[in-house]
Structure 1
């Protein structure tokens, strides 16, 4: 073999092996199982406590266990980690039977199966979300078409989700809201509708979008800070609107590779 060719092959082999192994990140976007009505769009509650859903949740948790994340991050104020630890230490069976929240039904259930000592809160609650001011700004600016588009978007989301919960299983719902189309739809409202709200010198819409970005950027920063070099795989369980945003950040980080929920649950 030609010496130059041989040296080239050795160089290529060493280069490939010198590349750090990417950390796998499972972004699990969820709807709020207990649906406290705090989101702008108002949707019906899906019964995750039924026997059928509980069996599905057991299957989902077993699949997550097989994936094997070293850490699980959740939508809980990072400043209240001590409360998460106390909450996580409670009797698991009691929590699973009484608390329908997705943090319990997915994160706690999965973490216990994995033998994790804790869950990691990464939510940041210092950002603003002035939706009422956005609507007011649209009205004051006479943005009738934008107001109509906003109302139609919210109504479509509510109708679409409420229809799906009458037809889909829990697993099908979770897979559906983690699709490329769903992720794109979550971002679209912020960047095509909300951002335009307000008169020329009133940036209420852009401010709302920037605050939403800030909240998610802070969560993404915490994910990176809390992920240690020894962690090969992590899982992030958040509302689907958050995971759609964080997905965009992760795309530009060569240290991570996204693992799709559909791949884990297959």
Structure 2
């Protein structure tokens, strides 16, 4: 009786379009997220890593191998962490790819533009989100630090940033002996991406006194920035697309979250392609 009642209720409450979908459901948008350290080392993160010159012949060869390996997935669109205007979110400087590949160290150019051009894509899309006008700071770390100093909670931040610096220093020491693809493996292992995100951001929830909660606000604004970025991706993607996303690895946890949970999307792991590109680069370098 209860099952019959629920079936009747659903028949009256579900939109006709949903009931009629059946086997006509569009193909999902597949999303592959490539998290990266910043090749150009702009110094904008809380803890930054010194990197060697990706325009050197060795690194250019490794990046080309990585691009060729990612091309095996046959992405139909490339989306990068850069700002572009809607509604199309196309990046104008993609037209200058030939010049940029020899002058720009940005990972969006070196991997994203390179791959899109090789595959004959008409455009590369930018989905970054930054505050404008009266919009909030999406990463209000200064407010968190000021509150922590004034309220005896600075030790939480000191411990967190010491751990981060230790990880970055160890990674930096490994870089000279790693290929580009090999160095990116650390930034894309799902277990590490999730663990690092949880340790940093959720530890910051402790910064506050219940009334003022700057740590919680930072978490909320960071979520907002990434949600807006994925919403822009959704404006670009079409059913059946294979979208390669190239983004700072700090964004990976939330972007993976949306790709796994938003209806009509499917997350594709990048790790097999990084492992393959690393192996190919090792062979080429011998």
How far has the Cα of 1:45 moved from its partner?
1.9
Partner of 1:169: 179
String of CA shifts for 1:94-134, please: whole Å, max 9, x gaps.
Answer: 22111111111001100001111111111110151221221
Q: Which stretch of structure 1 is more off in the superposition, 123-132 or 208-217? A: 123-132
1:38 aligns with 2:44: yes
Question: Residues 217 and 141 from structure 1, CA distance in 2 versus in 1: closer, same or farther, beyond 3 angstroms?
Answer: same
1:246 pairs with one of 237, 251, 255: 255
Structure 1: gaps spanning 5 or more residues: 1-14
Contact map agreement 1:41 1:157 (CA 8 A) in 2: no
Q: Which residues in structure 2 correspond to 1:63-74 (within 5 Å)?
A: 63-74=69-80
Aligned match of 1:222? 232
With normalisation by structure 2, the TM-score equals: 0.79
Question: Map of 1:1-266 to 2, 5 A cutoff?
Answer: 20-79=26-85, 85-90=91-96, 92-126=97-131, 127-128=136-137, 129-229=139-239, 231-265=240-274, 266=276
Equivalent residues, number? 250
What whole-Å deviation, never above 9, does each CA across 1:211-261 have from its counterpart, x for those lacking one?
Answer: 1110000001111121123x4311111101112211012221342222211
Change (3 A) 1:95 1:82: farther
Q: Is the 8 A contact 1:74 1:237 kept in 2?
A: yes
TM-score (norm 1): 0.85
Structure 1 residue 18 displacement after superposition: 5.5
CA distance in 2 between partners of 1:16 and 1:170 (Å):
45
**How far has the Cα of 1:56 moved from its partner?**
1.4
Distance (whole Å) between structure 1 residues aligned to residue 56 and residue 195 of structure 2: 29
Moved over 4 A (4+): 15-20, 80-84
CA distance in 2, matches of 1:93, 1:70: 20
Distance 2:143 2:110 in 1: 35
The equivalent residue for 1:7 is none
SS at match of 2:102: helix
> Deviation of residue 41 (structure 1)?
0.4
Aligned-partner Cα distance in 2 for 1:16–1:82: 31
Contact kept in structure 1, 2:47 and 2:164, CA below 8 Å: yes
Q: Contact (CA 8 Å) 1:29, 1:244: kept in 2 or not?
A: no
C-alpha change, 1:125 and 1:165, in structure 2 (3 Å) is same
CA distance in structure 2 between the aligned counterparts of 1:103 and 1:121, rounded to whole angstroms: 9
Distance across 2 between alignment mates of 1:137 and 1:20: 49
**Conserved in 2, the CA contact under 8 Å of 1:24 and 1:259?**
yes
